[in-house]
Amino acid sequence: MRYSQGGGLTPERQAFRERIRMEAAERFVVGASNVEVAKDLRVSVRSVQRWRRAWHDVGAEGLRSAGPVSLPKLSEALFAVLEQELAKGPVAHGWPDQTWALTSDLGHSRWWILRI
């Protein structure tokens, strides 16, 4: 998945990357070259070229983060319930011992599953 599609970035990381793009926009206004901007911001020239094109076409708004690709699957309340249930441990949920691993029930080590 590409960064522009969310790419698994945390909201903090998305905000950090947006700040870099906004800083690039400030440099575009004063006439800095793509190479200068890339060097100063420690990004690729190709990224700066894409940002400059978006800035030229739409303005600084074209450089803003599109936000998360999807909404969280669980609400805060449901996530809290999940944490409480996980804290009870595997035995409370019908597992034979204190491990969540299905591999031990199948007679395999946890390393076996990594080879698959």
> In angstroms, rounded to a whole number, what is the distance separating the alpha carbons of residues 66 and 76?
23
> In angstroms, rounded to a whole number, what is the distance separating the alpha carbons of residues 56 and 28?
9
Averaged pLDDT, 23-31: 96
* Max avg pLDDT among 1-10, 29-38, 58-67, 74-83: 29-38
Tokens describing residue 55: 């800035």
Is the predicted pLDDT of residue 99 greater than 90, yes or no?
no
Question: What pLDDT was estimated at residue 116?
Answer: 57
SS (H, E, C) 34-101: HHHHHHHHCCCHHHHHHHHHHHHHHCHHHHCCCCCCCCCCCCHHHHHHHHHHHHHCCHHHCCCCCCCC
- Residue tagged 């599609």 (tokens): 5
Give the pLDDT band of residue 87 (cuts 50, 70, 90): confident
Give the pLDDT band of residue 96 (cuts 50, 70, 90): confident
Task: Please state the pTM of the whole predicted model.
Answer: 0.54
Tokens describing residue 105: 């029930």
> In angstroms, rounded to a whole number, what is the distance separating the alpha carbons of residues 78 and 89?
17
Question: What pLDDT was estimated at residue 1?
Answer: 41
> In angstroms, rounded to a whole number, what is the distance separating the alpha carbons of residues 9 and 32?
28
